[in-house]
Amino acid sequence: MDAGALKNEALGAIEAASTPGELDELRVRYLGRKSELKQALRAVRDRETGMALNEARVAIEDAVDVRQSSLERAELDRNLTQDVVDVTLPGEELPLGGLHPITQVRRIVEDAFLGLGYEVRDDREVETVEYNFDKLAFAPTHSARSSRDTFFFDDTHVLRTETSPSQIHVLEEKAPPIYMVSIGRVYRRDAITATRYPIFHQFEGLAVDKSLTLADLKGTLLHVMRALYGPERRVRFRTHFFPFTEPSIEPDVSCGICGGEGCRTCKYSGWIEMGGAGMVDPRVFENVGLDPEEWSGFAFGCGLERAAQLRHDVPDIRVLWEGDLRALRQF
């Protein structure tokens, strides 16, 4: 028999088989015990014929296998097209919570300062009058010392009114250069309204090094405000007064709602107040035993609530404190 011709005939038929049944029939016809090929193989006497027949057998077997898997795959795909879901139905409801907007802002601030090489810290909230006021050079007549403005426990203990005591703590703990940001809760004796809450959060930065300038402070705050509010924001500075900085300034960031044109959020000024800042007052250096001739520094403090409110357009600060899931799940 002609092994080559048989092989070609078989391969053509296998390729043409369109169902597993047809393929089975072909397998029996060409490879079954009674098939022409098997009979010829049993009868073979010379090596050459044997090799040709064997080669044909292997080729036919391979072709059957290949055709088999392709037919099976086609059948599977046919079946799968019947198995259809409504893709518009919702997915399984998996538990997922969320971070509070103030935590989100806290992380942005932390990351921005980490990028500038600052360490992150927090200090105690119950402070002594010494650390909250005296060492920060608050005048004896400063209104913050009043029990109308500040929560006192007794004559010498208060809830810190700003994160600034951290400046003293870090300066007493380690030698400059210092680059730190302190983030935490602070307290003022304000009645609870849509815009005021007696507890809020601040971040306080302090840099102490050789020959720092007011320009460095401006640049640092620009960087952080843009990290918080976006790269297109502009920042301006106004002169101000704080006991522990001199010169003192207040940073404003351009209003993101009106783009600086003036709107209700920015009280039609185009600018939004962000906090306070300034060059470390020499008195503060003296209070912690550093030479103001040798070291200079800058400090700044800003509220996290304000940032969270602006980022998410939350008009009422109480939303941040009520723990209402209908609000919190949006953030």
Partner 1 sequence: MRVPVAWLRDYVPLEMPLDDLATRLSVSSAEVEGIERRGVPDQDGNLSRFLVGRVLEASKHPNADRLQLCVVDVGEGEPRQIVCGAWNFGAGATVAVALPGAVLADGLELEQRKVRGELSNGMILAEDEVALGTDHTGIMLLDEILEPGTPLADVLPIVDDVLLVEATGNRPDLLAIYGIAREVAALYDLELAPPAGVNPERTGDEGIDVQIEDYDGCPRYIGRLFRDVAIGPSPVWLKARLHAAGMRPISNVVDATNYAMLALGNPLHAFDFAVLRDGRIVVRRARPGEKLRTLDGVDRRLTPDDLLIADAERAVALAGIMGGEDSEIGESTTDVLLEAANFEPFTIFRSSERLRLRTEGSNRWEKGVDPYLAAPAATLATQLIVELAGARWVGDTDIQGDLPERPVIQFSPDRADRLIGIETSAEEQHAILGKLGFEVEGERVLVPTWRARDVTREVDVTEEVARFRLEDVPFTLPERRAMFGTLTREQQLRRRVEDVLVGLGFVESYTPSMLPDDETTWKLSEPITIELTALRTRLLPSLVEAARRNAEVGSRRVALFEIARVYLPAGELPDERLRVGGVAEGGFAYVKGVVETLYSALKAEPVFELTKDLLFHPGKLARTAAGPLGELHPSLLEGTWSAFELDLSTLLEASREPVTYVDVITFPPVRQDLAFAVLEEVAAGDLIDAAREAAGAELREMRPFDVYRGNQVAEGKKSIAFSVSFQSHERTLSDEDASGLREKIVEALARRFGAELRA
- Residue 294 binding partner 1, by CB under 8 A: no
- Residue 212 binding partner 1, by CB under 8 A: yes
- Residue 255 binding Zn ion, by CB under 5 A: yes
- Residue 108 binding partner 1, by CB under 8 A: no
Q: From the CB of 117, what's the least distance to partner 1, in Å?
A: 4
Q: Kindly tell me which residue out of 263, 288, 314, 327 binds Zn ion, with binding defined by CB under 5 A.
A: 263
Distance CA 118, CA 204 (A): 11
- Residue 258 binding Zn ion, by CB under 5 A: yes
Distance CA 276, CA 255 (A): 17
Beta bridge partners of 299: 206, 278
Q: From the CB of 269, what's the least distance to partner 1, in Å?
A: 8
Cβ within 8 Å of residue 141, ≥6 positions away: none
Instruction: Indicate the residue among 258 and 327 with the shorter CB distance to Zn ion.
Output: 258
- Residue 288 binding Zn ion, by CB under 5 A: no
- Site size toward partner 1 (CB under 8 A) is 84
Q: Out of Zn ion, partner 1, none, which partner does residue 90 contact, by CB within 5 to 8 A per kind?
A: none
- Residue 236 binding partner 1, by CB under 8 A: yes
- Whether the upstream peptide bond of residue 247 has omega within 30° of 0, thus cis, is yes
- Residue 199 binding partner 1, by CB under 8 A: yes
Amino acid making up residue 91:
G
Burial of 23 (C-beta count, 10 Å sphere; 0-12/13-18/19+): buried
Q: Kindly tell me which residue out of 16, 51, 76, 325 binds partner 1, with binding defined by CB under 8 A.
A: 325
Q: Out of partner 1, Zn ion, none, which partner does residue 115 contact, by CB within 5 to 8 A per kind?
A: partner 1
Burial of 96 (C-beta count, 10 Å sphere; 0-12/13-18/19+): exposed
Cβ(273)–Cβ(194) below 8 Å:
no
